[in-house]
Structure 1
Amino acid sequence: MNKTDRMLAIVLELQRTSVLRAEDLAAIFETSVRTIYRDIQALSEAGVPVVGEPGVGYSLMEGYFLPPVTFTAEEAVTLIIGTDFIEQRFDQDYGQKARSSRGKIEAILPEPVRMEATRVRKTMRLLTTNDERYRGPEKAYVEKIRQAILHVRKVKFGYAKRLPEEDGNRHSVRVAAPYGLVFTNGSWVLVARCELRQDIRHFRLSRMNELTMLDEAFQLPSDFNLQDYAPPDDRNVIVRVQVHADIADKVKESPNYYRESIEELEDGCLHMTFRVRLPEELLQWVLGWGAGVVVVEPESLRRKVREEILHMLEDY
């Protein structure tokens, strides 16, 4: 980023965030604090009313507002593709707002930039995955949970866990205080305080049913910030597998939440390490690759795989 672009970006950051220290700006623009000092000085000399308070930071004088800036073709394409993503992945309400925003962005672009943005956009496309046809309820639940978060109301829903509890039951009814929604690995996840577990838990919307918003209100903890929230990692079990060379490329391209590392061997095989809560969490993944994936450890998972194969033989 050249000096002119950086100075403009500094003004935009100060306009967006009321007070920023030189160290904050240096971190944002990946430059030195000394460079930020020079940029602030140049802005002041150019007539931009930047106010500096020792020990606090820089801010813009109250009432100063930078007029709307123009977009480059690349910036316009970035925003438009962002609206495409929101239309595909968010609920109907946000989908409509995404279409409206896209129209407004395209309307304000100068003709040359709009033509260039259209040309660039034609070379890119977001494809909906095959399983999107089955995610209608998930999108509807996004909207319901958003409303519950905005109105600070608890939610109630049926939930199916991936693995059964100790009593063998996978299904339960939960009441929870919704703290936020996270989109991860192609799926929406609710971060909420579960009344059953008396702690913060994560719930995949795709495993919910009969979601309703309750009249009962809740209070969000003052120290909770979804942007800073980091869930405790309780994946303490190590699983190692050997992948045959003929499917190595396919396995590498297949994302897996539990994957820790991949080691490519001289014969083209892969040695993969996973970290899980329970070995059974990888059972279906291992079986899905057939004879191309062999569990090295732990022995308990090897035994589970053998048992499942025997059950399959009985059916065939």
Structure 2
Amino acid sequence: MNRIDRLHAILTHLQSKKRVTAQEIADRFNMSLRTVYRDIKALDESGVPVIGEAGSGYTIMEGYRLPPVMFTQEEAAALLLGGKLAAHMTDASVKKHFETALFKIKAVLRTTDKEQMDMLSDHIEVIRSRIPEEEAPSQHLSALQKAIADKRSIFILYHSNYNEEVSERVIEPIGLCHYGANWHLIGWCRLRNGYRDFRVSRIKRLQLKDEQFDLSVHPSLQDYIKTMASSHALHEVVLRFDKDVVKYMQNQKYWYGFVREEEEKDFIRMYFVTGSLEGLARWLLMFTNAVRVEFPDTLHTMMKAYCAEMKDHYQ
């Protein structure tokens, strides 16, 4: 990257955040701190109102904006892929905003790049999984993002799939997490007085409250996920199914945390994320010798125990 392109990229980065440290710029553009200081000085001397100094971070004076950014063909293509995935993995509330953002991005592209975007759009598709209708995405993702960003508590009506009850909850949301083909809200539940994982598609009604909560008293989403993994609240599972039995699964696999699959010559390898190895194991019994556990060993041992119990029961 030549210096002019680098200065433009640094300026764009400065405008993307409230405050940026010199070390952050150095790490992103693979340059020394001394070079960062020289480039910041060059921007300041060229009339860009850079506020701050080495050690405390830099920001751009409020009100200063670059002209519309010109995207490269590769950047525009990457955004197109992101739009396709957003349409598949989010709900209508997010897709609407992403589509308008994509239109604004296309408006600043060169004519040749617009033509490439239109051509690529017809040749890229994400196939939607056949998720059961009752587990279809809700319309709450945009509201949940706003609640998290504004540190506002929320009121929800939540349908529990385990006991078929609908309960009223007040939640202090700390993040959104996507796993097992579903979006999950992680937050502090005042009703249960503890952190809970809520599947977004089971939220029947959501209302943002006026009150704000102190986010600093809660762990970050990343720390919470690490805690879940270390406490084995979620389990990664890899299974091998004979091809001739896969057709009998239909939509059932989604209830047990199905994530993705790989087709091999003689079998289908499936990946799951589940909170209950016991529930998954009991479901697998119906496939008898047409399924094999590749990971974890705990599930393999559990299957052997259940098979032994069935043998004793029917004898």
Aligned-partner residue type, residue 183 of structure 2: W
Residue 176 of structure 2: which of 155, 174, 181 is its match? 181
Which has the larger displacement, 277-286 or 11-20?
277-286
Quote the residue 2:254 is aligned against.
Answer: none
Query: What are the superposed Cα offsets for residues 86-124 of structure 1, whole Å, 9 maximum, x if unpaired?
Result: 334333333333333333333332211111222344442
Q: What are the residue-to-residue correspondences of 1:97-246 with 2, within 5 Å?
A: 97-131=97-131, 134-136=134-136, 138-142=137-141, 152-161=153-162, 173=167, 175-179=169-173, 180-206=175-201, 208=202, 211-213=204-206, 219-223=212-216, 224=218, 228-231=222-225, 232-233=227-228, 234-235=231-232
CA RMSD of aligned residues (A): 4.2
User: How far apart, in 2, do the equivalents of 1:288 and 1:2 lie?
Assistant: 62
1: distance between equivalents of 2:164 and 2:303? 20
Deviation string, structure 1 residues 64-86 (Cα, Å, up to 9, x no partner): 32211211222222223333333
Deviations 1:208-239 (A, max 9, x none): 26x23469765423314755553322118999
Cα distance in 1 between the residues matched to 2:114 and 2:236: 51
Number of residues paired by the alignment? 285
Shift of 1:8: 1.5
Q: Which amino acid aligns with 2:127?
A: L
Deviation at 1:41, TM superposition (A): 3.9
Separation in 2, partners of 1:158, 1:238: 23
Deviation at 1:35, TM superposition (A): 3.5
Secondary structure at the residue paired with 2:68?
coil
Preserved contact between residue 143 and residue 208 of structure 2 (Cα < 8 Å): no
Give how far 1:294 is off.
Answer: 5.0
> Which stretches in structure 2 are left out of the alignment for 5+ residues?
245-261
Contact 1:157–1:175 at 8 Å: present in 2 too? yes
Aligned amino acid, residue 19 of structure 2: V
What does the per-residue CA deviation read over 1:241-268, in whole Å, with 9 as the maximum and x for residues that have no partner? 996999996578522336xxxxxxxxxx
Identity within the alignment, %: 26
Equivalent AA in structure 2 for residue 13 of structure 1:
H
Gaps of 5+ in 1: 162-168, 259-276
> Secondary structure, in 3 states, of the residue corresponding to 1:197?
coil
Say which is worse superposed, 239-248 or 79-88, in terms of deviation. Answer: 239-248
Q: What residue in structure 1 maps to residue 304 of structure 2?
A: 302
Give SS of 1:230's match.
helix
In 1, are the aligned partners of 2:157 and 2:169 still within 8 Å (CA)? yes
Residue 183 of structure 2 contacts residue 200 of structure 2 at CA under 8 Å; is this kept in 1? yes
Per-residue deviation, 1:293: 0.9
Q: 1:97 to 1:205 in 2, by over 3 A?
A: closer
Say if 1:202 and 1:97 are closer, same or farther in 2 by CA, change over 3 A: same
1:22 Cα offset (Å): 1.0
Check the 8 A contact 1:148/1:154 in 2, yes or no. no
